[in-house]
Amino acid sequence: MISSVRPTVVIIGGGFGGINVAKRLSRANVNVVLLDRSNHHLFQPLLYQVATAVLTPADIAFPIRRIFRRQKNVTVYRAEIVRIDLARSVVVQEDGTETRFDWLVIAAGAGQSYFGHPEWEAVAPGMKTIEDASRIRGRVLQAFEDAEAESDPEAQQAHLRFVVVGGGPTGVELSGAIKELAVDAMDPDFRHFDAETAHVILIEAGPRLLNAMSEASSQAARDALERMGVEVRLNTRVTGVDEGGVLIGSERIRTDTVLWAAGVEASPLAKSLGVPLDHSGRIIVKHDCSLPGYPRVFAIGDVSAATCATTKTLVPGVCPAAVQMGNYVGDLIAKESKFGLSDTRSDSAARVGFSYWDKGTLATIGRAKAVADLGKRHFKGFFAWLLWGFVHIFFLIGFRNRVFVALGWAVSYMLFTKGSRIILGDPRSRVLHRIAGPISPRAEP
Amino acid sequence: MISSVRPTVVIIGGGFGGINVAKRLSRANVNVVLLDRSNHHLFQPLLYQVATAVLTPADIAFPIRRIFRRQKNVTVYRAEIVRIDLARSVVVQEDGTETRFDWLVIAAGAGQSYFGHPEWEAVAPGMKTIEDASRIRGRVLQAFEDAEAESDPEAQQAHLRFVVVGGGPTGVELSGAIKELAVDAMDPDFRHFDAETAHVILIEAGPRLLNAMSEASSQAARDALERMGVEVRLNTRVTGVDEGGVLIGSERIRTDTVLWAAGVEASPLAKSLGVPLDHSGRIIVKHDCSLPGYPRVFAIGDVSAATCATTKTLVPGVCPAAVQMGNYVGDLIAKESKFGLSDTRSDSAARVGFSYWDKGTLATIGRAKAVADLGKRHFKGFFAWLLWGFVHIFFLIGFRNRVFVALGWAVSYMLFTKGSRIILGDPRSRVLHRIAGPISPRAEP
């Protein structure tokens, strides 16, 4: 075996899509180069638990190179790719370093979308990375600190008001978890206010929560949140976000803390390709996840807009879809790479297309509360929550992480406490336009 | 009981000193106001394990207000105190907010000292806070990432060279832990270098390591480090630190990563008092830890220079000393606060002075390696290491933290892995003067 004839498979992104491509190539005679801007694979479904102090960053993040410790045909680099040159078959890093590919898999994921208002991001952070979640946790915890030091009742109430924009799974989970954090964990710790009065408002532009799930689950989620004391506002569109709060038409909601979970936008890398994108900036791929005209270049996961070969519907932007696309493309490259690069069998039209198998959808609302759609059946409450917990533990990568997450949940569940209530630095230091308001002199204790 | 006549005890700092003062006041008829710039109490002796990816920040940090959840006479504020006005009996926050005190305990701790070279801090971070430890972890891990992407052997070797300045407990623990991180955890994960060749250099200006411990323990620590492959340089003074490395007279050690554990300097708050300070900026207190002329103002822990009433020697800047001073001052205030503020029994001269009880000193070097001085007896090796582990678990605050730290150690010990290898953001973004060198084009894998 002459090493120089081994083709190079470059994978951009170490998320659910990218790592599964690499895993499927473990026996293939290829060199795999996996590039990611961070050094860790992130279990995004539990990111909201880092933001609400249940878990710590290391519980849901795992070093990518550790995953491939024993798979010697994979080399991992921490690198930010800013451009892809399809004509020259290279990917380009921030500093100009180029990596040549024979096969390319773009699995760069998506960021938060502010629907044409990027300036809102400074005030209303989204939740896509560990850094985002740490920052949100700091903001939420600092709001309680500010309330303790505040003597003006109206300003204090604004500190204790939390607005979550977007009624998808992240928004539902986040608003439930913030209310629980306030009631279970924070309440006994403060002297100058009743943390149970913390006011969480969940704003959704559409007519129901969790619109990818069944009507029954949407309604169950809404009922559960309202019983917990979360204010749910449907058919409500945010028209402005600034330091003082949120605008909804002419109504202003005064708050310190706006969290954004309202929409996604594919990685800006997609724009550098010069291929057709959909309205969310996603790469419109063929039936085999390849790019039109480039049978050895694929886009998978949240960066792609793929159509299921079986149902002819759009593949949803969820983890299982990214995993399945990763497996599909990995197997495809493993098979075709045997033929050599001059072979014509890498023909997009001849490939069996990608089909998404929907195993069901789960969303959690809080302690012993969740909803599940499994085929035509809908579950809610404790059983759905147990199922949610098992599924999430099962798909977490790494023995240590599974043990620690399970233990973190057990402690949190039994002791009604949140273990990771650590504010790192100044949680507002990255806010660009924030004007620090005057703090009123403290009342004598 | 009329609430307005209760005296206010202000405590600055939620470290080992401050929290023990507050705990001892649990039955006293006083209002306790505890002020800290962060929201958490930090178990500093294990900070180096966060820096070397064994533990996560939440394992060794605990919300201060959670400690006093049930002690209703304590109110905790997150506040940075910048000035103390003894004449007016107020402490002043950054934003001008003032808090009046009847009794004051200054327990603000110490920061890193760069011996008149504050500009070195940007290149050689110290290790006093959770943020410091996270930053060091990011730097150390990023150095390995840079080595993987580097094709020039000399530059690669510089990425894999780590210089630790200061041979006290922190420097010894840190250099041993970095070498272990490289050998145990990192080595199988990289393709382009042998992580076992990572070169750790520990530099100490004095003639021996751990100069607060016995000669036998100093020698044992040095032997153990050298057997692990750490280069120990005694009687060596660092004369310069810059982006390219460390200067020792005319010798330059080329390295990316310089970590500073060489000296401490009391909180700058001490300077605002207008009382005599020692050469490290510490407040020179009387036999009862009070300030000369202010019998109701105390300084304890690392911010104070106290003399033991029994041995007439300086009380060392270690955790047990801070705890004991906290207990002493807490009991003293609890007793004297009964008399009322107009009473003259708060007389410094009439008080029994503070005596430090030295229970022994422990320092760990690595996996199953530690040294212990207990009275006249010295231990080393596995027994000392077990003792070190038990003592540190025992004094950790919080059930959750004890369980997670013990589990983290067990996993780390059994699996030879480091669980928290997460780089958050750009670990070098806070480096002020760093010049990003050109990265050579990557070799084909």
pLDDT in tens, A351-408: 999 999 998 999 999 888 999 999 889 999 999 999 999 999 888 887 778 888 888 8
- Walking along chain B (445 residues) 10 residues at a time, the average pLDDT comes out as 73 97 97 96 93 90 92 95 96 94 97 91 91 92 94 94 96 96 89 93 97 95 97 96 93 95 92 93 96 96 96 94 97 90 74 94 91 92 91 84 84 71 67 28 33
Tokens 């940090």 found at: B61
What percent of chain A is predicted at pLDDT more than 70? 92
Residue A435 has pLDDT above 80, yes or no: no
pLDDT for res A1? 39
pLDDT for res B443? 34
What percent of chain A is predicted at pLDDT more than 90? 74
Decide: B107 and B322 in contact? Cβ < 8 Å: yes
A154 is catalytic: no
Q: What's the average model confidence in pLDDT over A267-296?
A: 94
How far apart, in whole angstroms, are the C-alpha atoms of residue B445 and residue B439? 16
Return phi, psi of residue B131, to 5°. Answer: -65, -40
Contact B79 A8 (CB under 8 A): no
Contact A400 B422 (CB under 8 A): no
The two structure tokens encoding residue A94: 């921030």
The two structure tokens encoding residue B121: 């801090």
Alpha helix ranges (H) inside B84-168: 130-149, 153-159
Per-residue b/e over A173-200, b at no fewer than 16 CB within 10 Å? bbbbbbbbbbbbbbbebbeebebeebbb
Interface test with B, best of A191, A414, A426 (most B CBs within 10 A): A191
The two structure tokens encoding residue B160: 């894999």
Which residue in the set B31, B66, B190 is minimally distant from A189, CB to CB?
B66
User: Strand B240-242 to strand B245-248: parallel, antiparallel, or no bridges (unpaired)?
Assistant: antiparallel
Residue A443 has pLDDT above 90, yes or no: no
Contact B142 A192 (CB under 8 A): no
How far apart, in whole angstroms, are the C-alpha atoms of residue B396 and residue B41? 10
pLDDT digits (tens, 9 = 90+) for A166-194: 999 999 999 999 999 999 888 889 999 99
How far apart, in whole angstroms, are the C-alpha atoms of residue B51 and residue B254? 22
How far apart, in whole angstroms, are the C-alpha atoms of residue A167 and residue A176? 11
Residue A416 has pLDDT above 80, yes or no: no
Dihedral of alpha carbons B334, B335, B338, B344, sign: negative
Please tell me which residue of chain A has the smallest CA distance to B6.
Answer: A445
Question: 0.80 exceeded by the pTM?
Answer: yes
How far apart, in whole angstroms, are the C-alpha atoms of residue B86 and residue B77? 21
Which residue in the set B59, B98, B445 is minimally distant from A33, CB to CB?
B445
Torsion-angle region of residue A206: left (phi > 0), alpha (psi -120 to 50) or beta?
beta
* Residue of B226, B262, B258 lying closest to B242 (CA atoms): B258
Which residue in the set B192, B417, B422 is minimally distant from A61, CB to CB?
B422
Contact B100 A407 (CB under 8 A): no
Contact B190 A65 (CB under 8 A): yes
In angstroms, the separation between the Cα of residue A281 and the nearest Cα of chain B is 25
pLDDT for res B437? 27
